[in-house]
Amino acid sequence: MDQVNEDTLAARKVIAVHINYPSRAAQRGRTPAQPSYFLKPSSSLATGSAQAPSVVERPAGCELLGYEGEIALVIGKPARRVGIEDAWSHVAWVTASNDLGVYDLRYADKGSNLRSKGGDGFTPIGPGLIAADAVDPAALRLRTWHNGNLVQDDTTEDLLFPFARLVADLSQLLTLEEGDIILTGTPAGASVAKPGDVVEVEVSTAENGTGALSTGRLATRVEEGTTAFADFGALPQADDMQREEAYGSREAAGLAPVAGPAVGHVLAPELKAKLESVCTATLSSQLRKRGLNNVSIDGLTSTRPEKRIVGLARTLRYVPNREDLFKTHGGGFNAQKKAIDSVNEGEVLVMEARGEKGTGTIGDILALRAQVRGAAAIITDGGVRDFSAVAAMDMPTYYANPHPAVLGRRHIPWDTDITIACGGTTVQPGDIIVADSDGILVIPPALAEELADDSIAQEREEVFIAEMVQQGNSVDGLYPMNAEWQNRYAEWEAGKPNG
């Protein structure tokens, strides 16, 4: 495989696309009807590898050096007024890129991005070049690591503007020359790098196994700049809006939520710890005491039965496939992908699949995306594709059965964050999901605190009962405890240390 060299770094033009991945469009809250572009100077180009990272300065006085893993196209022959059907033949190479920029200077050039994204070393590319004629441009995979943690993982299958369209579109007004570079957009997951951080980007063909092609990891290390800006030009300035844009969300930037309508329940760490300390069998008996008998999601198997899960429910509903409706709701950034791409740290994505076992409702790529976003678990009363890969993940998935078919065989992903039915019970967004090897419970948030406290008390009583049985006592009058045993339990309890 060829490597990025001095000729590649001497590109005539570097052209970048603003928004092209559906996940990024959802994060930004806008989906463009047509691509829009900006230029980066060729002097911003650099290259680096895992063995010899490039070095980029976060300019002195700046706070928000953003990184964006991207796929870069290198033009191989001039393109002027070419059609979409011929455009890909003008691309010689595909490689990895990191579209770096300082959000502290975005205000200064009214959208041109010259100062914010044009700095020396702000466009590392490489290290390897993949021949464009050896790949399907709609089957490439882009991954980004920040200090070794995978933060971006997406494919080119559902781009807003496929690569050939970008080449053809640009060629209508300007000549794309040999060596020109096009940066094709970044998916959700881009964030901020600080001095000492290392960001790595890799582009590969989407297939697994020995036949996959890869650029290798493009590595960039961030250093703190020491030369202050001159006082006759734009100076860095950052505000909360830029922090939110740079990190991807207010939460990721460490900012308080914007005041407004109620955003739903919050699972306090103390309550979560209590619920994690008791088993679902105990919780189930306490729910039954309160007249709640239909609060279990039944008939599912876990890929990680040894794990105990506690998290707030997010919901996704599939409806039966109807071919005309699948055309409008099944493709692109559909409800399934929106749900996966918006699940937050510690949340549980619960899917209503009507118990339909004849197709998959989640596969390895989307399950991985949910895991990367920090989901506590996925629960579906339908099938799972790519089962071996899904089962190997740390994040548990609860499922009805494996099945190789895509969801379009039986399902249309329809809507998210609504009341649904899953495994025979009703689940609402914000319900608390508790799952272990005994099963899955749906707990109304208003009952959770007292339910947890009573369950802890019940399990303490059961420790006493188990000790008494171990000592040879009959269960008659002991399980459940009569008045005499209650008195003996009180004495036992008084002699035990707290906790």
User: First vs last Cα of the chain: how many Å apart?
Assistant: 62
What CA–CA distance (Å, rounded) separates 248 from 141?
21
Residues 347-382 pLDDT 10s? 999 999 999 999 999 999 999 999 999 999 999 999
Tell me, yes or no, whether 253 lies in a domain.
no
Tell me, yes or no, whether 276 lies in a domain.
no
- Are 435 and 468 in the same domain? no
Tell me, yes or no, whether 397 lies in a domain.
yes
What is the domain extent for residue 332? 294-443
- Are 337 and 467 in the same domain? no
Tell me, yes or no, whether 481 lies in a domain.
yes
Neighbour tally for 99: CB within 10 Å: 28
- Are 432 and 486 in the same domain? no
- Are 462 and 424 in the same domain? no
- The CATH number assigned to the domain holding 105 equals 3.90.850.10
Tokens (6 digits) for 448:
């959770």
Tell me, yes or no, whether 107 lies in a domain.
yes
Domain C-terminal end among 247, 273, 305: 247
Q: Indicate if the pLDDT at residue 459 is higher than 60.
A: yes
DSSP 242-256: HHHHHHSSTTTTTPP
DSSP helix/strand/coil, 332: coil
Query: How is the chain split among helix, strand and coil, in percent rounded to 5?
Result: 30, 30, 45
Q: What residue spans of 265-375 are helical by DSSP H? A: 269-276, 280-289, 323-329, 335-342, 364-372
Neighbour tally for 340: CB within 10 Å: 25
Neighbour tally for 13: CB within 10 Å: 18
Give mean pLDDT, residues 18-45. 90
- Are 189 and 90 in the same domain? yes
Q: Which residues of 301-338 are buried (b: 16+ CB within 10 A; e: fewer)?
A: ebbbeeebbbbbbbbbbbbebeeeebeebbeebbbbbb
Tokens (6 digits) for 1:
């495989």
Beta bridge partners of 72: 95, 183
DSSP helix/strand/coil, 223: strand
Residues 66-104 pLDDT 10s? 999 999 999 999 999 999 999 999 999 999 999 999 999
Angle, helices 269-276 vs 448-470, to 10°: value is 30
Q: How confident is the model at residue 493 (pLDDT cuts 50, 70, 90)?
A: confident
Tell me, yes or no, whether 133 lies in a domain.
yes
- Are 367 and 429 in the same domain? yes
Maximum Cα–Cα distance for the chain, whole Å?
94
Residues 120-170 pLDDT 10s? 999 999 999 999 999 999 999 999 999 999 999 999 999 999 999 999 999
- Are 23 and 63 in the same domain? yes
Q: 6's torsion region: left (phi>0), alpha (psi -120 to 50) or beta?
A: alpha
pLDDT of amino acid 392: 95
> DSSP class of residue 230?
P
Tell me, yes or no, whether 270 lies in a domain.
no
Neighbour tally for 349: CB within 10 Å: 28
| Least confident window among 4-13, 334-343, 442-451 | 4-13
Tokens (6 digits) for 372:
């990367």
Beta bridge partners of 450: none
Give mean pLDDT, residues 419-424. 96
Element (H, E) at 451: helix 448-470
Tokens (6 digits) for 106:
């975005």
Tokens (6 digits) for 468:
């008494």
- Are 45 and 182 in the same domain? yes
Tokens (6 digits) for 418:
């609504």
What CA–CA distance (Å, rounded) separates 217 from 214?
8
What CA–CA distance (Å, rounded) separates 415 from 394?
27
Tell me, yes or no, whether 174 lies in a domain.
yes
Give the chain's domain count: 3
Name the amino acid, one letter, at 257: P
What CA–CA distance (Å, rounded) separates 295 from 300?
14
Read off φ and ψ for residue 423, nearest 5 degrees.
55, 30
Give yes or no for a cis peptide into 402 (omega within 30° of 0): no
- Are 82 and 41 in the same domain? yes
| Nearest-10 Cα torsion for 425, 427, 432, 438 | 30
More confident residue, 275 or 28: 275
- Are 237 and 104 in the same domain? yes
- Helix and strand tally (H, E) in the chain? 14, 31
- Are 399 and 459 in the same domain? no
- Are 230 and 186 in the same domain? yes
